Chains A and B, each alone.
Chain A
Amino acid sequence: MLYDRPPMRPVNRTPRTPGNEAPISSATADPIIEFQSVTYSVKGRTTPLISELSLRVNSRETLVLLGRSGSGKTTLLRLINRMLVPSSGAVVVEGKSTVDWDAIRLRRHIGYVIQEAGLFPHFTVAENVGLVPKLEKWDAARIAERTNELLRIVGLDPKEFAGRRPAQLSGGQRQRVGVARALGADPSILLMDEPFGALDPVTRSELQREFSALAQRLGKTIVFVTHDLREALLLASRIVLLQNGRIVASAKPQEFLRIDHPEVKAFSASLHTVPGEMA
């Protein structure tokens, strides 16, 4: 079931251990991103950031990578759009290893949302959202149409917001623009690195709920990084828990909390902590 199709290229696979390979529940599952025994290490560090990790991301699922700071979740995200290249193993995106992709092509093909949005301060909202279509040399009318459509999708009135600069937006509005920009050229994959992490709790929960609905409507493959279990439970169709560059648990949200693993327990403890219990 796990290997119902041959790997794209021969790779040295590590023996499968529970949790090292994510279970695939649906028979129609079709991997769009596949980590094949990926190790990523940097000079000057003895332990690799990612250790022989294998993972399949299925088309149209919302996979949440959960983990503490330094667990390797952002590294994993950056390996997908070739901002990083594996030290060994391969990351296969839509049937082709990222090293065989032209990096620019690959990135324009994948939406990317980061914390604080990273909007271009010298561009208007419309110019930010229309960036990738413009890089892809769409004609101006089509870009304008697409920009307006995307702003409406993320709940911003184009008439009011298209001409504004990022500095004239609230944190939540900036993050909405960040999502719209990532969707610019209608990518099939969306990578999100703690996109709601810097928002105040009320705005964050608003955006989480809206985004959850949006994700279902868009039908994109989403890989979402967070350290917030509550957010993971709300948004994920599957949660993958990382610790020290390895997968330690992988489950659907409703099954996740039942997993018997110390790191899962540590995360679920964070969920149940209320001020009264702290003392």
Chain B
Amino acid sequence: MTPWTFMVTHRAEIWSAMLDHIALVLIAMSIAIVIAVPLGMVIVQRPALRTFALGLASVFQTIPSLALFGFLIPIPFIGGIGPRTAIVALVLYALLPILRNTYVGLTGIDPAVLEAAEAMGMTNAQILTRVRLPLALGIILAGIRTATVITIGVATIAAAIGAGGLGTFIFRGVAMVSDAVILAGAIPAALLAILADVLLALVERRLRVQ
């Protein structure tokens, strides 16, 4: 059986796994953005919290993904088998690139611009919303883009804890020693990652201030 014939005969199943996969990524990314972008704004002013938050987010990144999924299973409320645990793990992975880029974007602004903003009589809130955030947007988006591509890849491993998605085919293929089945999961996941990367690159280019 060639990979192509397998994909054609199982197209409905692959399609539904892909939708599950996209849902996992979208939910995880939404949560990660809602946590990491505001946290990035907060740590600009707080060096102690900054070291802690960036350090913790880095630690999550160093845990091998399969191990992280395994660690989460026994934890009450967030653990167990299924998509919920997978989303928690994916969020933890996505935090670092978004958090770090938000921080770098907000702090990497020309000091003369910030000095002018302050001297013009802008309030701190106005400086954040009208100067810092618009100027940092391109870099924050670059972080979101990196995180999205990582999450699409890591989400394939979520199948190991019963979260569904394209990883289902990869694990099944490994068990069956069938390249065709592995590729039926791997190729759509790769295409998804490339597509997300290209789309977000376009948005990023539009928003970046030169």
Among the stretches B8-16, B34-42, B120-128, the one at the interface with A is: B120-128
- A115, A122, A178: the one contacting B209 at CB < 8 Å is A122
Is there contact, CB below 8 Å, between A116 and B123?
no
Contact present for B112 and A116 (CB under 8 Å): yes
Residue ID in chain A nearest B126 by CB atoms: A135
Please determine whether A122 and B134 come into contact, CB atoms closer than 8 angstroms. Answer: yes
B112: chain A residues at CB < 8 Å are 114-118
Shortest B88–chain A CB gap in Å is: 36
A114, A122, A135 — most chain B CB neighbours (10 Å)? A122
Q: Would you give the shortest CB distance from B75 to chain A, in whole angstroms? A: 43
Query: How many Å from the CB of B197 to the closest CB on chain A?
Result: 25
Q: How long is the Cα–Cα vector from A178 to B117 in the complex, in angstroms? A: 12
A122-154 at interface with B (beta carbon < 8 Å): 122, 131-132, 135
How many A-B residue contacts, CB cutoff 8 Å? 60
Give Cα A215–Cα B120 distance, bound, in whole angstroms: 20
Question: Which of A106, A112, A191 has most chain B Cβ within 10 Å?
Answer: A112
CA distance A192 to B26 in the complex (A): 50
Given contacts A135-B126, A167-B210, contact A119 B116 (CB under 8 A): yes
Least CB distance, B169 to chain A, in whole angstroms: 45
Please give, as numbers and ranges, the residues of chain A lying within 8 Å of B209 by CB-CB distance: 121-122
Asked whether any CB of chain A lies closer than 8 Å to the CB of B118, the reply is: yes
A107 to B121, CA, bound (A): 5
| Chain A residues with CB under 8 A of B123 | 104
Q: Please encode chain B, from 184 to 210, with 1 for each CB lying within 8 Å of some chain A CB and 0 for all others.
A: 000000000000000000000000011
A268 CB to nearest B CB, Å: 31
Complex contacts, B131 vs chain A, CB 8 Å? 120
With contacts A120-B131, A122-B135, A122-B209 taken as known, whether A135 is within 8 angstroms of B120 at the C-beta atoms is yes
Please report which residues of chain B, range 116-155, place their CB below 8 angstroms from some CB of chain A when the two chains form the complex. Answer: 116-123, 126, 131, 134-135
- Among B120, B131, B134: residue with most chain A CB under 10 A: B120
Q: Evaluate contact between B118 and A107: CB separation under 8 angstroms.
A: yes
- Which one of B113, B119, B122, B126 lies within 8 Å of A119 (CB-CB)? B113
Task: Name the residue of chain B whose CB is nearest to the CB of A187.
Answer: B121
Rounded to whole angstroms, the CA-CA distance of A131 and B121 in the bound complex is 10
Contact partners of B121 in chain A: CB under 8 A: 103-109, 132, 135
Of chain A, the residue at the smallest CB distance from B131 is: A120
Given contacts A120-B131, A121-B135, contact A114 B116 (CB under 8 A): yes
Residues of A within 8 A of B210 (CB): 121, 167
With A and B bound together, what is the CA distance between A121 and B126 in angstroms? Answer: 16
Q: Name the residue on A nearest B117 (C-beta).
A: A120
CB of B11, distance to nearest CB on chain A (Å): 46
Interchain CB contact under 8 A, B119 and A132:
no
| Interchain CB contact (< 8 A) of A107 among B110, B120, B134, B135 | B120
With A83-B118, A118-B110, A122-B135 known, 18 other A-B pairs at CB within 8 A are A104-B121, A104-B123, A105-B121, A106-B121, A117-B116, A118-B113, A118-B115, A118-B116, A119-B116, A120-B113, A120-B117, A120-B131, A121-B135, A122-B134, A122-B209, A132-B120, A178-B116, A181-B120
| A residues in contact (CB < 8 Å) with B | 81, 83, 103-110, 112, 114-122, 131-132, 135, 167, 178, 181, 191
30 A-B pairs with C-beta separation under 8 A: A83-B115, A103-B121, A104-B121, A104-B122, A105-B121, A106-B121, A107-B118, A108-B120, A109-B121, A110-B119, A112-B119, A112-B120, A114-B116, A114-B119, A115-B112, A116-B112, A118-B113, A119-B113, A120-B113, A121-B110, A121-B113, A121-B135, A121-B209, A122-B134, A122-B209, A132-B120, A132-B121, A135-B122, A178-B116, A191-B119
